[in-house]
Structure 1
Amino acid sequence: MHKWEGIEAFVQVATHQSFSRAARALGVSNSHVSKQVASLERHLDARLLTRTTRKVGLTETGQAFFLRCQDILNTLEEAEQAVIDLQEKPRGRLRVSLAGAFGEEFITPAAVSFMRDNPGLHIELNFDNKLVDLVSDGFDIAIRAGILEDSSLIGRRICNRKLVTCASASYIDRYGQPESVNSLVNHHCLIGTLDSWRFQDGQRHFDMRLRGNWRSNNGRALAHAAIGGLGIVQLPDFYVRDALDRGLLVPVLEDFNPTDTGVWAVYPHNRHLSAKVRMFVSHLAEQLAGG
């Protein structure tokens, strides 16, 4: 083994604090990672990691070595990417974090067409409702909806995200139509992942915390509940567009629809903006134009 061959394995283990997660990230076996790290420690004649049955940590020497190795690998990655960028067509792995029906319905078809035009890419779409850490989890880009507040990320708005508040005609016939945002406290509200809905009053945007008799972290389940007359719902328009067109749902509080939300492609400040990321984001914006 070349004397520095185990550096990437060591950095992955230190980052994930796990040999098994490091192996998955590298696409190799646990034993391969373990052997490479052990060989590196023998070469350095130093213990870099502390190992228990539950956790892997860094020794003081390992922490210092880890920081240097991170810088080295980042520099090598940027040098490699600079060469790839000069070849016009993006190549290599593109890892994208996304979630929900919007990702399935809009981002996935755009990713398919992008890969079809760039067969040298290996695209990985990871659907997960949790908010991932792009750097430590090894993602090039994430698709996030709503209001971008994380200052550690750079974001490009790839399309609008229209929030619609609506209910079925049967619900409105039974309970009446809310005349103001404040009157929602007297209605049955169908609540999603968040406890608050977004509204606009003139130039002011605000969130209103609501309680309801139906809760789900799935937009389609919320839309079905609204169509079934269970209450009022606020959802991105793509969940309810068809039901609105067919008259199964009726918009309410239209004068208070927010205008400050969107769908964003985000990536870390310290990540070299490679051709594959730059071109993929531009492709998404083009495909979703007018959305």
Structure 2
Amino acid sequence: MHKWEGIEAFVSVAQRQSFSKAATELGVSRSHISKQIAQLEARLDAQLLLRTTRSVSLTEVGQAFYLRCQDILNTLDEAEQAVVDLQERPRGRLRITLAGAFGEEFIAPAAAQFMSENPGLAVELDFTNRITDLITEGYDLAIRAGTLKDSSLIARRICNRSLVTCASPHYLKRYGQPENIAALVNHNCLVGTLNSWRFRDGQRNFDVRVSGDWHSNNGRALVHASIANLGIVQLPDFYAKDAIDQGLLTPILEEYKPTDTGVWAVYPHNRHLSAKVRLFVNFLAERFAG
């Protein structure tokens, strides 16, 4: 058996934790994937995967082998990409992890246009709210919003992100408009993922704990609740923009609006010379300029 046989199938199953999804990704049958991995395990005389009727997971040996195989496949991808880069045309599969309304409304259409302009490219968008490891999970790129934590990844700002505090005109007429941040304690604050909101006093940003009887980790749900006159909400501007433009929500406490953060394209160092990543990030930056 050739030493490479079964490696790509094994890595795909390990990443997706599914024989069926790996078969779909590689364009082969599930039985072909199973046969390749069985032959690989027999050749190595080691069990790499734990299989049940509902799940697939890595054994301890499988995890160690997977990390080495992932490095090897990444190196091969880089070698192939180096040839493509000479032609400055993005090819292969561009795997992107993203989440939220910004991803749905802005990144997805941008990715579709980029793919249509580059016929040799395949795009995979993975919408998830969990924290992803770009390197071990094989992603080329992540779209992340807000303040980034220090990491070994490369990050490029593709546009600004503002936080807006707002409420419906009916709510403000009934309960009054808070004149300052301290007045929020007298209002129903619709709480999202965090139980604190960010404001600015002069040059300093600071966080304020808020509370209310509506909690949701979904920005659209918070917008709908505020439109329904349930309380005050603080959200990234792209969630509330349409409702504000239509007069359904009114911005408040604008003098305390925090400093803009950003929406970032984040990618591993070993992707920074890849044409598909570099050109797509440039495409996003130009599309969202201003």
Deviates most, 71-80 or 122-131: 122-131
Q: CA deviation at 1:118?
A: 1.0
Q: Distance in 2 between matches of 1:135 and 1:157?
A: 20
Contact in 1 for aligned 2:163/2:260 (Cα 8 Å)? no
Q: Which residue of 2 aligns with 1:130?
A: 130
- Structure 1 window deviating more from structure 2 (94-103 vs 74-83): it is 94-103
Per the alignment, residue 49 of structure 1 pairs with 48
Q: Which runs of 5+ in 1 are unaligned?
A: none
Q: How far, CA to CA, are the matches of 1:214 and 1:271 in structure 2?
A: 42
Q: Contact conserved, 1:4 with 1:40, CA < 8 A, in 2?
A: no
Deviation at 1:278, TM superposition (A): 0.6
- Residue identity over aligned pairs, in percent, reads 69
Secondary structure of the structure 2 residue equivalent to 1:32: helix
Distance 1:267 1:76 in 2: 18
Find the aligned partners of 1:157 and 1:68 in 2 and give their Cα distance. 32
Give the match for residue 141 of structure 2. Answer: 141
- What SS is found at the alignment partner of 2:33? helix
The CA distance in 2 between the partners of 1:243 and 1:14, in whole Å, is: 43
1:89 aligns with 2:89: yes
Question: What secondary structure is seen at the aligned counterpart in 2 of 1:148?
Answer: coil
Displacement of 1:170: 2.0
CA gap of 1:22–1:171, structure 2 versus 1, over 3 A, is: same
2:75 aligns to what? 75
Cα distance change of structure 1 residues 41 and 221 upon mapping to structure 2, 3 Å threshold: closer
In structure 2, what is the equivalent of residue 168 of structure 1? 168
Runs of 4+ residues over 6 Å off in structure 1: none
Task: Indicate how the Cα distance of structure 1 residues 97 and 36 shifts in structure 2: closer, same or farther if over 3 A, else same.
Answer: same
Listed as ranges, the gaps of 5+ residues in structure 2 are: none
User: What value does the CA root-mean-square deviation take over the aligned residues?
Assistant: 2.5
1:230 Cα deviation (Å)?
A: 1.4
Sort the Cα spacing of 1:168 and 1:55 in 2 relative to 1 into closer, same or farther, 3 A: closer
1:42-91 Cα shifts (integer Å, max 9, x gaps):
334x224263536543455x566445433322221110111111111111
Native 8 Å contact 1:99 1:129 kept in 2? yes
Alpha carbons 1:47, 1:59 under 8 Å: kept: no
Aligned 1:266-285 pairs, distance under 5 A: 266-285=266-285
TM-score, normalisation: structure 1: 0.87
Q: Do 1:50 and 1:59's aligned partners in 2 also have CA atoms closer than 8 Å? A: no
For residues 51 and 103 of structure 1, the distance between their equivalents in structure 2, rounded to whole angstroms, comes to 34
Q: How does 1:143-158 map to 2 (within 5 A)?
A: 143-158=143-158
Q: Is the 8 A contact 1:106 1:288 kept in 2?
A: no
In structure 2, how many angstroms separate the alpha carbons of the residues matched to 1:162 and 1:32?
A: 50
SS, match of residue 87 in structure 2: coil
What is the distance in 2 between the residues matched to 1:20 and 1:258?
47
1:219 aligns to 2:212 (yes or no): no
Instruction: Report how many residues are paired.
Output: 288
Q: Distance in 1 between matches of 2:2 and 2:206?
A: 58
1:57 partner letter: L
Whether 1:231 and 2:231 are equivalent positions in the alignment is: yes
Change (3 A) 1:133 1:237: same
TM-score, scaled to structure 2: 0.87
Q: Secondary structure at the match of 2:143?
A: strand
- 1:85/1:275 contact within 8 Å kept: yes
Name 1:206's counterpart in structure 2: 206
